[in-house]
Structures are given as C-alpha cells and as structure tokens.
Chains A and B, each alone.
Chain A
Amino acid sequence: MTPAAISPVGIRFENIDKRYGGLYALRRVSLEIAAGECVVLAGRNGSGKTTLLRIAARLVRPSSGSITFLDKKNGAITAASQTGFVAHATMVYDELTAEENLLLFAELLGIAEPAARTETLLAEVGLTDRRKSLVRTFSRGMRQRMAISRALLNEPSVLLLDEPATGLDPQGMSWLAGSLRQMRDAGRTVLMSLHGESEISALATRAVRLEAGSVIADTQTGASLPSILTFAGA
C-alpha cells in the first residue's frame, strides 16, 4: 500500500494475564505471531479479543506476562513506532476535518513531512475530495477509512484491528479487504478480531480462537479456517 519498505516484525505474547478487579479477562495467553502473518482472532464477545489487541497496542498494561516485538531474526526490538491500531471506535475527532485529524496526529507522532504524508494517505483511502469536511458528516464506511489512515500514519509494521468490518456496507467491505490484502502483501503483520466469515477472513493465513480469556484453538492452514471462525456458534 505504501511504497516505503516495511521491515517485518513479529509479536510474542508470553503468559499474558489480565485481571480487572480480580476477574480474568485473559488467562495465560501465549502466542507467537511471525513477521508477515495475517492472523484472525475469533471468539465470542467478552472472550478477551479486544483486551489482547489493546495490550498489543500498548494501551493496556497486562497484569503479568510480557509482550515482545521481534525482528526477522527473532531479536527483540522496541515497539514504539511499530504498531498501528484500529479500535472499535474511530479514534478521530468528529469536530475536525479529515485533513485536520490526520495532520494533528502526524504532528504529534513527529512525522517528518506531516502535510505530504496526510495528502498521500487521504489519496490512498480515497478521501481527497472530502478532506475539508468535518468527520461528523462522514458515513460509517468513510469513518472506517479515516480510522485506518490514522493507524497507517507512522508506517507501522504491525497492524492491529479490532472488528474492522463491523457496520460496513458491501462496498466498504470490498475496499477494506482490498487494502488489507495490499498491507499483508507489503509484508505487514496483521492481527485482527473478526466476527464470522467474510471476504476479510479469507485473507487470513492463521486463525486463533479465544474463549473466556484463553486460547482454545490455533490453526495455520486456510482449509480449517471456516470451522474455527464459526466454532461454538460465534
């Protein structure tokens, strides 16, 4: 998607526990995701998918256990500018325009040429025409484009997406599938939570199923993907 070379980065979760007020949201989750994999997290609501993604994004501190980002030779690297996170919410300001939003976060991140970067990203997600409109006036699909372009500002090697397909119309769905495929093919590691089977789940090279905060299934092949996604009536 972006011409810049992506240095492949993997993620290693080791014995992650997350407790909220004594209750386990995640229990002894160990998971190693190699650089360049496209992994789907499946599971019911409340199974811990969001918590795991927010831990990977460094928004939530695990109660115990550790998370490491790995380079090609499995050496640990600092995570600071390696991840891009698309949450369930849009994470952009409704009361700012598309351009202002991206410029704001680009400047906060200390990106070299914020204006140029913003322009490129807006063109890539197809929002150049609407760059002067307030995000408040955007449709769900356009907001999702904003969310993804914000996550791509720092050219992350790892992309974390929490239910990116929710609320998208078929057109938005194809767009999302297309751009995710490009990101995967560019060498980015993708970890996303999904509900059910779709165009997007078809991109996955691996599926991991969480239940009650633990990993209960982990499949590498594309063949058994549907069964793991719909397992136990997701």
Chain B
Amino acid sequence: MSLFSNTAVLLGKELRTEFRSRELLTTTVVFILVVVVLFSFTFDASSAESRRFAASLLWLAFLFAASLMLQPCFLREQSNDTLSALRLSVKDPFAIFAAKLSANTLFLLLTELLMLPVFSVLFNVPVFPVFGQLVVVLFLGSLGVSIAGTALSAISAQARMRELLLPLLLLPLLTPVLVASTRVTLALLDAEPYMEWKGIGFLIVFDVVFLTALWLFGEYLLEE
C-alpha cells in the first residue's frame, strides 16, 4: 500500500507549501472575483435573466481560473529538478499525480466555496437552500478539471509558450465537464430547484475515465 502512503505524504507537502505562502489560493480567488464582477457589467443582472446565465458564468469563471491555477503544478518541480527526486523516491509514479490532483481539487473547491456567497449576492441567486447539492457538483466538476488539468500541465510544462498552451489544450477537452456541471447547477438554481442526476452520473463517468487514463499513461508523462 505504498501508493496510498506515498500519496498522503506528497499531499501533505503540497498542502504545507501552499498554506505557507497561500499564493495560489489568493491569486485564484482574486481572479475569479474579477471575472465575476466583469461579467456582471456586460449584461443587466436582473433576477430572471441572471438565473438563466448565472450557472454558465460561474462555471466559465471556474474553468478559466483553473487553467491558470494548474500552470505551476509541474513547473515548480522543474527549477530544482525535484521531479527527479520524487521519481527516485516513490514506488509508483501515479502517487505523484494522485497527490497533485487531490491538492488541486481541494484548492479549486476551496476557492469556489469562498466565491459562492459573493456570487449569490452579485447575481441575486439563492445558493444556500441548495448548498449541499452544490458542493457535490462543485466537487465532481473540480475533480474532473483537476485530473485532466494535472495531466496536461505535465505536458505543457515541457513546451514553449506554456502559459498560453495549457488553457488551449485543456479547455476544449473540458467541454463535457462544463456542459454537465452547468446543467446540474442550472437545475439547482432554478426557482424550483431539483437535482439533475443524469448530470451527476455523467460527471462521475468523466472523472473515472480520465483517472483511469492517467493511471495507465501517467508514468510516460514523467519520462525524460
């Protein structure tokens, strides 16, 4: 079970470094805030309309934020060649991905939960009656974003123009997550909220498919 213990140790390291500097979390929160506020200028956020658009705006903001937040994931392992140190120390290289994607999911979820009240006020949509269900869809969506994003950030870290490349590779691939998460959120923000189970199931399928692909091909992403 060295995979689990290695993942746990590495996750601890990711969390410790992030909570020490809080660079990633602060910048992401501010970025989402800027996007959400800018969105609200581009149309009249009156109640009926905003209910229809709110879910898509929210998820677009999260997706753009994620594509920026995932940039340093493998890049910061390059400066001191720490990725090699990790490869020499773990038994299963999947532990490196598992830890990074868990940390990214957690960071994304945290920023999203911080932004929800702000969003609720600005767009006049009640999020608290359906808070529990929202957390479920936010988690499943962020997990999908993090799995694909962690894998692709290992690729983009090796290329030129990497800051532009990651969103370019990642966002089209995340179309299914965007569509399904928006759909579920839309149903939850409806005047008569309901759970769109088909969307939840779809998100689970996406997460499982990409996690399996990463498990199968992850070690090649770390080759030098």
Contacts and interface: CB of A to CB of B under 8 A. Distances in A.
Interface of A: 54, 57-61, 85, 87-96, 100, 104-105, 107-110, 150
Nearest to B9: A107
B13 to A, nearest CB: 5
Interface of B: 2, 5-6, 9-10, 13, 16-17, 20-21, 79-82, 84-91, 223-224
Contacts of A54: 224
| The 8 residue pairs across chains A and B that have the minimum distance between CB atoms | A89-B81, A108-B89, A91-B85, A107-B9, A89-B80, A90-B80, A95-B17, A91-B81
A92 B80 contact: yes
A95 B21 contact: yes
Contacts, number: 59
Nearest to A58: B88
Given A105-B89, A150-B85, A93 B9 contact: no
A105 B10 CA distance: 9
Contact of A93 (B2, B6, B17, B223): B17
A71 to B, nearest CB: 21
B9 A104 contact: yes
A136 to B, nearest CB: 10
Nearest to B17: A95
Contacts of A61: 223
Contacts of B82: 91-93
Given A59-B224, A90-B80, A94-B80, A85 B88 contact: yes
A10 B174 CA distance: 50
B6 A108 contact: yes
12 contacts: A57-B84, A85-B84, A85-B88, A87-B81, A87-B84, A89-B79, A89-B80, A90-B81, A91-B81, A91-B85, A95-B17, A108-B10
A92 B85 contact: yes
